[in-house]
Amino acid sequence: MRNCFLSVAFIATLFTGTAAVAGPTSSSQEVILINPFEVKPGREQECLAMWEASRDFLSSKKGYISTKLHKALKPNAKFTYINVAVWVSAEDFAAAVSDPKMRQSSLSDACTGSPALFEVIRN
């Protein structure tokens, strides 16, 4: 099953070092992956199936804490889905998505993600 949790473009940026996985984060603070998805018309179910497969794969990796997929209430929203995942560290996330099995399963054109890692700076 293919995977839409991370877009092919994002996987490529991870390996070229331009993704937002580097930078200052507290070693005791979790990082949050926020990934909004633009879904091609009629491909929602394919994207969901790929997200589920990706979630299942990544949830077994070191540093994974949780993930939730959100769906826009507005029918014509630019982003149909937004994934929010929590990881122990940026390093754990980068290691998980660099697994060759993740790369092989990330080939999809059903949806395009715009992922970035964030840290909480205010409560």
- With H, G, I as helix, E, B as strand and everything else as coil, classify residue 84: strand
Instruction: Classify residue 87: in a domain, yes or no.
Output: yes
Task: For residues 91-118, give the mean pLDDT.
Answer: 84
Of the two residues 117 and 7, the one the predictor is more confident about is 117
Instruction: Classify residue 95: in a domain, yes or no.
Output: yes
**What is the predicted pLDDT for the residue at 28?**
64
**What is the predicted pLDDT for the residue at 17?**
37
What is the domain-level CATH number for residue 97?
3.30.70.100
The parent domain of residue 58 ranges over 8-21+28-118
The number of domains in the chain is 1
Torsion of CA 37, 106, 96, 99, to 10 degrees: -170
Task: For residues 105-113, give the mean pLDDT.
Answer: 76
**61 neighbors 92 (Cβ within 8 angstroms):** yes
Query: Using one digit for the tens of pLDDT, what is the confidence trace for 26-77?
Result: 456 899 999 999 999 999 999 998 899 899 999 999 999 999 999 999 988 9
